[in-house]
């Protein structure tokens, strides 16, 4: 029997990379998974890759109507949620003198506002003793030039978790942050070889993490293995932010 046998999980932005690897592992461990993504073609590919016990719902986590449609689908098909991985997020480079209203609003609308309402709108369907975890980043505690707005958005998630675990304690719903370091996903490719080499050089083991290494930690946070883990920011970064 898998560690998530009979559980229902929702994972946003799960059409590639870490979230897709997590969705695939959750299904292998016995869960039924609902995934979302903005592009229907990528969503269809992800559903096909996962292969079974999965429903894809097209939508943008920054759009509240899309979130409503996601949870209406969950309610209609399963009627409950046990696990939520609020994974949707984005980052763009801009130094302090380059930040515009559009840059700020785009990042905070998805990373902060979108995450808040992703969690809030899930609560009516959430079973007691469930697990919620947010997609953070080592940027929440590191000073990274030209990444200030993104870093601040991820620090806000850490603050949310401290509050929400207290608000949800009567329901015994755990809330944590999973904060990856540099992970080898397609999103890095446009940055170019020099930037990627720089990222690798900052990692003590000298190589980037793999999506599957995030997925196994997500499984830990989702399962009863982490029953006494609540309110933490769990860094999965090969030590990058720790030295």
d(CA 172, CA 213): 27
Look-up: residue for tokens 């929440």? 140
Strands annotated E in the chain = 8-11, 32-37, 54-58, 81-86, 126-135, 174-180, 233-236
Is 71 considered catalytic here? no
C-alpha distances (whole Å) from 78 to each of 2, 72, 74 are: 19, 10, 6
**SS3 (DSSP) at 10:** strand
Residue in 150, 164, 220, 235 annotated catalytic: 150
**SS3 (DSSP) at 233:** strand
Half-sphere exposure of 177 (CA within 13 A, CB side): 27
- Residue 110: alpha-carbon gap to chain centroid: 12
Q: Answer left, alpha or beta for residue 129, where phi above 0 means left and psi between -120 and 50 means alpha.
A: left
d(CA 131, CA 118): 14
Catalytic residues: 150
């Amino acid at each position: 029997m898998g560690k998530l046998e009979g559980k229902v999980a929702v994972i946003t932005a799960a059409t590639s990379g870490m979230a897709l690897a997590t969705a695939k592992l959750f299904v292998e461990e016995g869960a039924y998974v609902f995934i979302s993504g903005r592009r229907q073609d990528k969503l269809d590919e992800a559903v096909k890759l996962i292969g079974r016990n999965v429903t894809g719902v097209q939508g943008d986590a920054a759009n509240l109507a899309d979130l409503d449609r996601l949870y209406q689908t969950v309610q209609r098909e399963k009627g409950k949620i046990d696990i939520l991985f609020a994974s949707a997020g984005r980052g763009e480079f801009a130094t302090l003198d380059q930040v515009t209203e559009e840059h700020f609003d785009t990042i905070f609308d998805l990373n902060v506002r979108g995450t808040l309402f992703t969690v809030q709108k899930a609560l009516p369907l959430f079973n007691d003793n469930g697990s919620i975890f947010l997609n953070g980043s080592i940027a929440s505690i590191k000073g990274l030039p030209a990444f200030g707005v993104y870093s601040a958005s991820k620090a806000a998630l850490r603050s949310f978790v401290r509050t929400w675990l207290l608000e949800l304690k009567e329901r015994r719903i755990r809330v944590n942050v999973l904060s990856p370091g540099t992970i080898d996903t397609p999103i890095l490719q446009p940055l170019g070889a020099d930037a990627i080499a720089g990222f690798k050089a900052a990692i003590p083991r000298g190589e980037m993490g793999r999506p599957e290494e995030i997925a196994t930690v997500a499984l830990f946070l989702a399962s009863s293995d982490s029953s006494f883990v609540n309110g933490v920011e769990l860094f999965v970064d090969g030590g990058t932010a720790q030295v």
